[in-house]
A and B are shown apart, each in its own frame.
Chain A
Amino acid sequence: MGKIEWAMWANEQALAAGFIYLTGGIVGVAGQFSGWKFAAFGIAAGVFVCLLEYPRSKRIKGTNFERTGQYCFTVCVKAFGPLTRNYYVRAFLHAVLCIPGGFMLATVLGCVCLGIASLIYLSAAIHGEHWEPILPEAEPTKHVSQSIKQPPQNPPPRPPADMRRKRLDDLEAAAYVNPIPVRE
């Protein structure tokens, strides 16, 4: 099976959980349920989690799958340095954010889903994974080969054109040996 990258799955889960938290919060606030303040918190936490989780991390090995338009989010998340790089911090953050959701029916699903994502992030952190930003690689500067700067001093090693012309009548005489050996 090889090395499983738990963080990839945790990232998908956290993004989906953020969305569920947000939706539950909206329903709670719009329906004016009792405890709607928890729902309002759910909306804020859901949006925050979605923004944090939107930029995917660079994979350890293999092709990276960027989400559409994630570059600006990558830059923002990268700016927080070790806070966002470390998955222990993320696991703890998600665990803390999900707790208030458990006090209200509308947000309880978001709470459980975010809790599961937090556990998977913890597993990723234990396996030593961390978040790496996917940044566009700088184009390597094209090196101009040395030989272009120095044109050849000698003409190519071949006899003049009329000698080179195919003389079908006298094939033996038409053959020649290159004065300068040709390197393979």
Chain B
Amino acid sequence: MGLSLRSWIANEGGKHCILITWLSVSAWIFWRTFILYCSGAEYHYLHKMLGLGLCISRASATVLNLNCSLVLLPMCRSILTVLRGTRQVSSKKARRLLDKSKTFHVTCGVAICVFSVVHVGAHLVNVVSFSVRYSDEFPALNVAHYRGQSVPGITGVLLVLVLFLMFTASSHSVRVGNYEIFWYTHNLFILFYVVLLMHVVGGALKYQTNVDAHPPGCIPANQTRAHSDTWPNQEVDGELVAESREMSLVCKEDAHFQPHFPQTWLWVLGPLCLYCGERLYRYIRCNASVTIVSVVRHPCDVIEVRMLKNSFKARPGQVSPTLSSAVMNSSSCPTENKETFGIHVRVVGDWTACFSELLLPDLEHSEILPMTNQRRYPNDEWRRYKLQRLYFVWVCRELNSFYWFAELLCGLHRKLWEQNRPDYLNIRLYLTTAQELQNLTDEKYRPLHSRLLIGRPKLKLLFEEIGRSNQHKKVGVFCCAPKGVSRELHKLCNSFSASGTVFEYNKESFS
């Protein structure tokens, strides 16, 4: 199957648009700053002293400013939740772009690391240049106190160390294996930003303030007489020209230098305050108490907890930030005019084991599962589709896992039959390990029994079938699966479809 342009644009277009915009802006500010320091009049003397190292270090610093400010914005989850819910962002495309916030955060993070390497390299060269090309002519420009002295850069070293710790703990393998290491090192971001704000106050690089009075390359006044003797004999016009040239080249004043206002503050303080405010808000909200209404134990170490929280309305697909690998399924259960919400929790870690021990003292310990992504807003993107049909494909390794939601599925199936909408919900259950003949033997789960298939789903055939039944329509694919499967699904969504159906790919991940 080749790529279908329509499907590709539907799935990838917006994302790539943002990426190209970001790349263009970064390239433009890099280039602009580079040229400014290379040929700007106020940096002439500094450039003479430091050379290319100055231009590269300043240009990379500007790109770092941009990315350090942008990197915080996708993490303002409560604000993104509100944005997603408002009418301003009513377009499905915009909402799906907001879902990609984590990817954008990672992109900015990688850019920060790359440009930090460039910045540090360029500054190392600058350090040597400051030392070797110590300027006797313009002592104010010097950072070294004397020729040959090495220049301190403690804040820079600290920044690199913090970035090193954060970056190494953010790799996929560490996040999956030891989420706590990732979480705690990533919270060093506040130290990073505090040191960054101090780093730019140093004022090592200065610009010339009086370019009009002292144009770069001008001759100091006490040297003009010596110069006039050396001018060769010229014609009358030529002499006049030479004299007037002399006059414009004479410096009226000595060069004055001044360090810049720390521009980074303007870039970074806004998003930093926004993010810190948001963390505070989340912390305050987290402290509200929750009442546990009921606890049900399901097979395969899953417990279902139904809870009640004042002024909180759970929506399907919401993920609780405080629990490990929990998926919320919301259903209203009006008891005393209050709605309860439920979560299914798989007991596979110390935290969940302690949690389940408090609720049901008999459960045994199991292995480790990492904490989830702190996704606050519900993945209720499906609401945006004018839902005509719902295909529910569930792949499990063990038969008992299907019991987690068996009652819910059967109840829903029965309800739809009674409403004479039998083809609204298509359930496909796949059992990947089939050692012996297995079946959901309970009589009440009969609808599921006949929809249980052994073996992995043949996704390509499934897509073809769905495409044939829903020609020239938009099908939203919502995937919650490990990388291998989700990648395959993504590829299928972008592929050629003979029936004119467009498959829109949405993903939820927990790492």
Contacts and interface: CB of A to CB of B under 8 A. Distances in A.
B359 to A, nearest CB: 19
B173 A8 contact: yes
Contacts of B177: 5, 8, 59, 62
Interface in B233-288: none
Interface stretch (A91-99, A108-116, A149-157, A173-181): A108-116
Contacts of B169: 9, 12
Nearest to A26: B121
**6 closest residue pairs by CB, A with B:** A2-B368, A12-B168, A65-B173, A13-B168, A2-B350, A4-B178
B124 A105 contact: yes
Contacts of A33: 124, 128
A9 B368 contact: no
B173 A12 contact: yes
Interface stretch (A16-24, A44-52, A79-87): A16-24
Contacts of A56: 173
B307 interface: no
Given A105-B124, A108-B157, A4 B181 contact: yes
Contacts of B121: 23, 27
Contact of A9 (B127, B161, B178): B178
B168 A9 contact: yes
A31 B130 CA distance: 13
12 contacts: A1-B180, A1-B350, A12-B169, A17-B164, A20-B117, A31-B124, A31-B125, A65-B173, A65-B176, A106-B124, A109-B120, A113-B161
Contacts of A4: 178, 180-181
B293 to A, nearest CB: 28
Nearest to B367: A61
Contact of B164 (A2, A16, A59): A16
Interface in A62-94: 62-63, 65
A112 B124 CA distance: 16
A106 B160 CA distance: 13
A165 interface: no
Contacts of A2: 349-350, 367-368
A101 to B, nearest CB: 13
Contacts of A27: 121, 124-125
Nearest to A66: B173
A109 B121 CA distance: 11
A83 to B, nearest CB: 24
Interface string B176-187: 111011000000
Contacts of A12: 168-169, 171, 173-174
A61 B368 contact: yes
B371 to A, nearest CB: 9
Given A4-B181, A105-B127, A109-B157, A23 B117 contact: yes
A142 interface: no
Interface residues on B, range: 20 to 34
Tell me if B's interface is mostly helix, strand, loop or mixed: helix
A106 B153 CA distance: 12
B174 to A, nearest CB: 5
Contacts of B350: 1-2
Nearest to B117: A23
Contacts of B174: 8-9, 12
Interface of A: 1-5, 8-9, 12-13, 16-17, 20, 23-24, 27-28, 31, 33, 56, 59, 61-63, 65, 105-106, 108-109, 112-113, 116
A8 B172 contact: no
A147 to B, nearest CB: 16
A28 B171 CA distance: 29
B167 A16 contact: yes
Contacts of B164: 13, 16-17, 20, 113, 116
B496 interface: no
B165 interface: yes
Interface in B351-400: 351, 367-368
A16 B171 CA distance: 11
A59 B368 CA distance: 12
A106 B122 CA distance: 11
Nearest to B172: A65
A24 B367 CA distance: 42
A17 B165 CA distance: 10
Contacts of B117: 20, 23
A19 to B, nearest CB: 9
B186 to A, nearest CB: 13
B24 interface: no
Contact of B157 (A3, A16, A106, A112): A112
Contacts of B349: 1-2
Nearest to A33: B128
A108 B152 CA distance: 12
Contacts of B157: 108-109, 112
Given A33-B128, A61-B368, A112-B157, A8 B178 contact: yes
Interface string B422-439: 000000000000000000
B150 interface: yes
A145 B472 CA distance: 49
A109 B150 CA distance: 15
A112 B161 contact: yes
Contact of A3 (B160, B165, B173, B368): B368
A29 to B, nearest CB: 12
Contacts of B176: 62-63, 65
Contacts of A65: 172-173, 176
Nearest to B153: A105
B180 to A, nearest CB: 5
A65 B349 CA distance: 20
Contacts of A9: 168-169, 174, 178, 181
A16 B128 contact: no
